[in-house]
A = this chain, B = another copy of it.
Amino acid sequence: MPNKEEIVNFFKRLQDIICVELEIADGKGKFQEDVWTHKTGGGGRTRLIQNGNILEKGGVNFSAVEGSLGEDMKKALKINEDADFFATGISIVQHPENPMVPIIHMNVRYFELSNGTYWFGGGIDLTPHYLNENQASWFHKQLKAVCDKHGVNYYSEYKKKADDYFYLPHREETRGVGGIFFDHLNEKSLGISKADIFDFIKDLGNEFAPIYTHLMTLNADIPFTERNKSWQYLRRGRYVEFNLVWDRGTKFGLVTGGRTESILMSLPPQAQWEYCHEVEPNSEEEKTQNALKKGIDWII
């Protein structure tokens, strides 16, 4: 049965591999690392890439923290009893310079309590500034292939959860074309062993670099205009709205005293807001806007 050390070691190696692969695909940007410690125990390795050929700002963050559950954490996790916790994971958000390259996010994490409870959670989702249906479909097919290796219902179930999670109720729109999202995975909820669940997490984590470097390479040389940049800044504004208003991970981190600069690395380098912005009829912006809804079947 995989223990904390094994899981931590996998996440650390995964962080290393993803950073190397992103640097190679970018061709210029290099990750800078900040090592930090958490006040109650443990810490993290925050890695930031900036002003690359393709990646304008992105984080690949590892952390492994532990301590006693504080009141804020107990409330956020809906746990009543006192216990020690251990939490480790990787969080990634990449904001590309070229609006034709999509934003991507992935998080994989493991949580355990001193009473023996544990769970895995995570998700990955793609936010194109400009929709490319073939690529959105390809993205979902890669995720489905990973899911199908581990459970026949995983893709359909976790794809639906992603539609519901990566959603801005106040805009009535999804953050992008979705992906998969899951939480509280353990023997009890899935009926398979901890080792098998960890294998699913590993397969998903290992899929990140091939998926995103492919999308970087496909789109990074597409020419773009000022109009495309303006639209990108508005879409980044929506990304900020989702992360600060609705994302449970961000909120959890900020209210439980996580490292602010690591948590908010998910924010874009800049964003814009325009009152009642309307997309032009029959434009590429309108096509993208129209795809920001739940329930689209991308496996076609």
Interface stretch, picked from A78-86, A152-160, A239-247, is A239-247
What residue of chain B has the Cβ atom nearest to residue A261's Cβ? Answer: B276
Other-chain residue from B170, B260, B267, B274 in contact with A171 (beta carbon distance below 8 A): B260
Residue ID in chain B nearest A277 by CB atoms: B261
Chain B residues whose C-beta falls within 8 Å of the C-beta of A50 in the assembled complex: 275
Inter-chain CA distance A240–B59, complex, in Å, is 20
The chain B residue sitting closest to A270, CB to CB, is B272
Chain A contacts with B in 175-206, Cβ cutoff 8 A: none
Interface size on A, residues (CB 8 A): 32
Q: How far is the CA of A110 from the CA of B88 in the complex (A)?
A: 46
Shortest A19–chain B CB gap in Å is 15
Pair B251/A245 contact, Cβ less than 8 Å: yes
Complex CA distance for A269 and B245, rounded to whole angstroms: 18
Question: Residues of B contacting A265 with CB < 8 Å?
Answer: 275
Interface SS of chain A: helix, strand, loop or mixed?
A: mixed
Closest CB in chain B relative to A289 CB, distance in Å: 15
Q: Is the CB of A170 within 8 A of B260?
A: yes
Provide the bound-state CA to CA distance between A274 and B271, in Å.
Answer: 12
Q: A170-B264, A244-B244, A271-B271 are in contact. List 10 more A-B contacts (CB 8 A).
A: A57-B275, A171-B260, A233-B270, A241-B244, A245-B245, A261-B276, A264-B273, A269-B274, A270-B271, A271-B272
Interface status of A291 (Cβ within 8 A of chain B): no
| Residue A254 at the chain B interface, CB threshold 8 Å | yes
Which residues of chain B are within 8 angstroms of A263 by Cβ–Cβ distance?
A: 170
Interface string of A235-262 (1 = CB under 8 A from B): 0010011001100000100110000110
- Find chain B residues with CB under 8 A from A233 CB: 270
Say yes or no for A131: interface residue by CB 8 A criterion.
no
The 10 closest A-B pairs by CB, nearest first: A244-B244, A170-B254, A267-B273, A270-B272, A170-B260, A244-B245, A261-B276, A48-B275, A271-B271, A261-B275
Cα distance, A218 to B268, chains bound together (Å): 34
Q: When chains A and B are docked, how far (Å) is the Cα of A279 from the Cα of B163? A: 40
A-B residue pairs in contact (CB < 8 Å), sample of 29: A50-B275, A59-B275, A169-B254, A169-B255, A170-B254, A170-B260, A170-B264, A233-B270, A237-B267, A240-B240, A240-B244, A241-B244, A241-B264, A244-B244, A245-B245, A245-B254, A261-B275, A261-B276, A264-B273, A265-B275, A267-B273, A268-B273, A269-B273, A269-B274, A270-B270, A270-B271, A270-B272, A270-B273, A271-B271
